[in-house]
A and B are shown apart, each in its own frame.
Chain A
Amino acid sequence: EAQVTQNPRYLITVTGKKLTVTCSQNMNHEYMSWYRQDPGLGLRQIYYSMNVEVTDKGDVPEGYKVSRKEKRNFPLILESPSPNQTSLYFCASSLSVGGNGYTFGSGTRLTVV
């Protein structure tokens, strides 16, 4: 089944404790992206990647890192999480930017206390 897999689905952590949210797709998509979604603010892009070793900042990259060492994987790293990073996170992929639409992962609900 074609899908984008995110892990974990839920995570509660403490301020300053490094964490990684994994994202993997099995559709051989070149483009992958991370979004956060907050009430009243909609989906906001954090980082995106056009291909392996090609990444760029989105609209809200501060406090986040990404890497794209393999085509299928695009992990999101929070080096020192803070409470304002409490949010619902989505990974998405497509053949190209926009393409014929993105396939989204199931989401990760992160709480930083």
Chain B
Amino acid sequence: QKEVEQNSGPLSVPEGAIASLNCTYSDRGSQSFFWYRQYSGKSPELIMFIYSNGDKEDGRFTAQLNKASQYVSLLIRDSQPSDSATYLCAVKSLRGYSGGGADGLTFGKGTHLIIQP
């Protein structure tokens, strides 16, 4: 059973600081890694995806991937109150359509982030 683990939080960060969100995964065959943001009662929204080891930056967001240690993280610089949300990590493994079973994309349960003004 593939697992994607996130600390549920809440993670409280002062406005303007760096928020660091972490995710670990169990399947070493995982290929693709995604971060989604979800406001309460709303649908998940894709923030970033990363495929290769290292850092990937997009505006205030940086995704970091370390396949050897099986973790992926999301850094949010200059945190704003509007960043307060639940952040979901999703991991895609090599497993795809095989005539049965899930499709290989596994979501973590999310980390609740609170940015304090």
Interface residues, chain A, with chain B CB atoms under 8 Å away: 33, 40-43, 45, 48, 50, 54, 56-59, 88, 90, 97-98, 100-107
- State whether A56 touches B100 (Cβ < 8 A): yes
Overall SS of chain B's interface:
loop
Residue pairs across A and B with Cβ atoms less than 8 A apart, 11 shown, are A42-B88, A45-B105, A48-B102, A88-B41, A97-B97, A98-B32, A98-B34, A98-B105, A101-B36, A101-B49, A102-B44
* A-B Cβ contacts below 8 A, count: 62
Interface centre among B31, B43, B109, by most chain A C-beta atoms within 10 angstroms, is B43
Tell me how far the C-beta of A109 lies from the nearest C-beta in chain B, rounded to whole angstroms.
8
Count how many chain B residues have C-beta atoms less than 8 Å from C-beta atoms of the other chain.
27
- State whether A58 touches B49 (Cβ < 8 A): no
CB neighbours of A98 from chain B (8 A) = 31-32, 34, 90, 92, 104-105
CB neighbours of A40 from chain B (8 A) = 109
Known: A42-B107, A57-B101. A101 touches B43 (CB 8 A): no
